[in-house]
Structure formats: structure tokens, C-alpha cells
């Protein structure tokens, strides 16, 4: 698969409080399905934190992880399985809930779906391009927006948006 380089016109930082709120919204959606899960499988790395929040909210204590690398900074390439799941424990994924922070193009979700066809896949955020590869999500995201998760961003002063529009600080 060729690399896909994303160019985004808007970078949106997500503070911890908003991320926690959005993850709890996903927990509410999961609970509304009335399905009782055996455990959670986090997609590392981005899915580890929401998986912990979801595990607490759903009172699930069995948490596994699968690790798939498909991004190098902001460029998407061929997905590589870095760590699978315990097949004896998880089987085909029936009764398991897979959690990730974001479904972008759906490449990672598709790899997980091939690995665990009977699992439920849920993400906190979902771009239009990947929404059909997951079963549940909390917040839709426009394609031109690049989310800056709290663990990926650092706090620093920023310029007013108007100054970023042209070199002279004038509106275009």
C-alpha cells in the first residue's frame, strides 16, 4: 500500500477534559447496546487511554492490547502488526470490545476486523472515510481536521488565527 500523506488545514487540540467527556459519551453509546463484554482490546497506542476509561465506566477488568503501526508521524503507510492478541483467550473476538482513539481511513480497523471478525470495534472519534469500518463511535471529525490528542501535544502560546492567514497579519 502506498503511503498517504495527510495535509490538514485545521489542527484541533483536544484537552484532557474534552477527551474524557467524549470517551464517556462513547461509553454511554456502548452501554445503550445492552451487550455485556468479556473484555476490552485496546489498539495501541492511541486506544490505550480510552480503553482504560471505557473499562472503568463499563466495569470491565480484562483488558488486552493489539499493536498495529500504520502511521509515521502524519504519514500513513502499510499497516504492520507489532503485537497480536492471545488467540486462546480472545478467539475470533466474539464478546470482546475493541477500542481506539480515532478511525481515520479505516486501515487499522480493517486489520483488526480481519484478525477479530466477531469483535465490536468502537472509537472515540471517526472521520467520514473510516466510519463504516467501526461499529460505534462518539464524535464525527471532518477530513481537514487533524486532532492533537493531549498526549501528542504540548502546551505553548499560539498566534491569533488572523495573524496566521497571511505573512503581514492581514486577512486574505
Looking at the annotation, which residues are catalytic?
100-101, 104
Distance CA 66, CA 42 (A): 6
Comparing CA positions, the residue from 131, 72, 62, 145 lying closest to residue 103 is: 131
Long-range contacts of 71-76 (CB under 8 A, 24+ apart): 74/5, 74/6, 74/146, 75/3, 75/4, 75/5, 75/6, 76/3, 76/4, 76/5, 76/6, 76/104, 76/105, 76/107
Positive or negative, the CA dihedral 64, 72, 112, 56 is positive
Alpha-carbon distance of 168 to 172, in angstroms, equals 10
Cα–Cα distance for residue pair 77/72, rounded to 1 Å: 8
Between strands 63-72 and 120-127, the pairing is: unpaired
Amino acid at each position: 500500500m502506498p503511503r498517504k500523506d495527510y495535509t490538514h488545514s485545521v489542527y484541533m487540540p483536544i484537552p484532557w477534559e474534552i477527551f474524557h467527556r467524549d470517551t464517556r459519551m462513547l461509553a454511554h453509546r456502548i452501554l445503550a447496546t445492552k451487550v455485556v463484554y468479556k473484555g476490552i482490546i485496546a489498539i495501541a497506542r492511541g486506544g490505550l487511554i480510552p480503553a482504560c476509561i471505557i473499562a472503568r465506566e463499563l466495569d470491565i477488568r480484562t483488558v488486552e492490547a493489539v499493536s498495529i503501526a500504520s502511521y509515521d508521524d502524519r504519514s500513513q503507510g502499510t499497516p504492520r502488526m507489532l503485537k497480536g492478541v492471545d488467540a486462546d483467550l480472545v478467539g475470533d473476538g466474539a464478546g470482546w470490545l475493541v477500542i481506539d482513539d480515532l478511525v481515520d481511513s479505516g486501515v487499522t480497523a480493517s486489520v483488526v476486523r480481519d484478525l477479530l471478525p466477531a469483535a465490536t470495534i468502537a472509537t472515540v472519534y471517526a472521520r467520514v472515510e473510516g466510519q463504516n469500518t467501526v461499529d460505534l463511535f462518539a464524535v464525527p471529525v471532518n477530513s481537514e481536521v487533524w486532532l492533537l490528542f493531549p498526549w501528542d501535544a504540548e502546551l505553548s502560546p499560539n498566534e491569533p488565527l488572523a495573524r496566521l492567514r497571511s505573512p503581514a497579519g492581514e486577512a486574505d
